[in-house]
Amino acid sequence: MERGGGDAFFLPRARRPPPETKTVVILHALAFFVEQLCARSADAPCLERLRPIYCANPECRAPARNPQGILQLIGHGLYLRHVRGLTEVGWIEIWIRRFRCRICGCTMSVLPNWLHPWRWYAAPVILEALYRHCVLLETAGSIGVRFGRPADATEWRSLRRWRAQLLVSATLWGWLGSRLGVIESAADRRQGSVYLVCLLANAGQQAVSGIEGLREISLTARRTLSNLIHNRKTAWSTRHFPPGVGCRGSPVPTRPALPTEKDSGPRAP
C-alpha cells in the first residue's frame, strides 16, 4: 500500500496463534533386530506391520481404520534415535517410525521393547549395569568399560542415578514400583539390590546369585517392556485403560498395538 507521497508502507499481519500442543503417547513395541532398526533396509518391518491398531491416546482410542476402511492412523515420518551400550564401539543410530491419529492429533512412534522412552542406554544395559553395581559390587569404572566408556573413567554418575530412579521413575520401571510397594528411592547399593531382585522376580526371572543372574537379564528386560503405553507420568498395558479412564472408543484389541515417541535429543551427547 502507498501513502499519498508515493512511499510504500505495509500493514502488519496479525500473528496466528501457535498450534495446540498435541499429546504424545508412547508404546513399547515388539522386539526387532538392531540391524533392522539401524538401516532402512529391505528386511526392515513394513509400515503396515508397525501401524498401531488403535490410537494410544486414552481419550480417543480410535481404530486404525474406520468402518468404511479409511485410515485414521497415518504414517508421520521417521526420526533418528541414538542408543548406547548395545555394542562396545559406542553409539548406534536407529530409525523410529512415527504415526499420527487424524481424529485427535496424537502422535505415536514404534519403539523396540529393549529401549526405554527418553533414555540413552538400552534397558538390558541398565539392568545389567545395576546388577553388577548393586549385587556383584563391581566398580563403576569396570562396569563403564564394558559398555563402551573410556577406560580411564573411574566414576559413572549414571549408575547412581539409575539406582535412585529404579522402580520410582516412570521411564525406569516406575509403574511396577507402586505394585511392589516401593515409595522411595534406593539410598545405597544394598537397597538398590533389594529393588532389583524384586524387579527381576516380578518379571519371572529366578532368584540366582552371582554371575549366573546376568544370563537372563536381556530377556527379562524385554518381558517387562513389551506391550506398554507411556505418557511420561506412568505406563499401562495395551490391553487395559489407565486408571480413571473409561472406554471411549473401540474395544481393547486382542493383539498388541505398536506406538512411541522421541525425546532423546537430535544427536548423541
Q: Tell me the average pLDDT across 30-39.
A: 52
Quick one: angle between helices 157-165 and 123-130, nearest 10? 100
- Which range has the worst mean pLDDT, 17-21, 58-62, 75-79, 124-128? 17-21
Task: Assign 236 to helix, strand or coil.
Answer: strand
Per-residue pLDDT of 252-266, as tens digits, reads 333 333 333 444 444
Residue entry with cell 496424537: 106
When the pLDDT of each residue in the chain is averaged and rounded to a whole number, the result is 75
Q: Nearest Cα to 22, choosing from 102, 107, 108?
A: 107
Size of the chain in residues? 269
Most confident of the following: 15-24, 65-74, 251-260: 65-74
Name the DSSP class of 65: B
Name the DSSP class of 133: I
Name the more confident of 179 and 258: 179
Neighbours of 164 (CB within 10 A): 16
Residue 257: its pLDDT value, please? 36
Residue 237: its pLDDT value, please? 76
Residue 104 grid coordinates: 485427535
Residue entry with cell 533418528: 80
Q: Nearest Cα to 159, choosing from 179, 176, 174, 139?
A: 139
Residue 259: its pLDDT value, please? 38
Question: Rounded to 5 degrees, what angle do the CA atoms 200, 218, 57 make?
Answer: 80
Q: Tell me the average pLDDT across 31-54.
A: 64
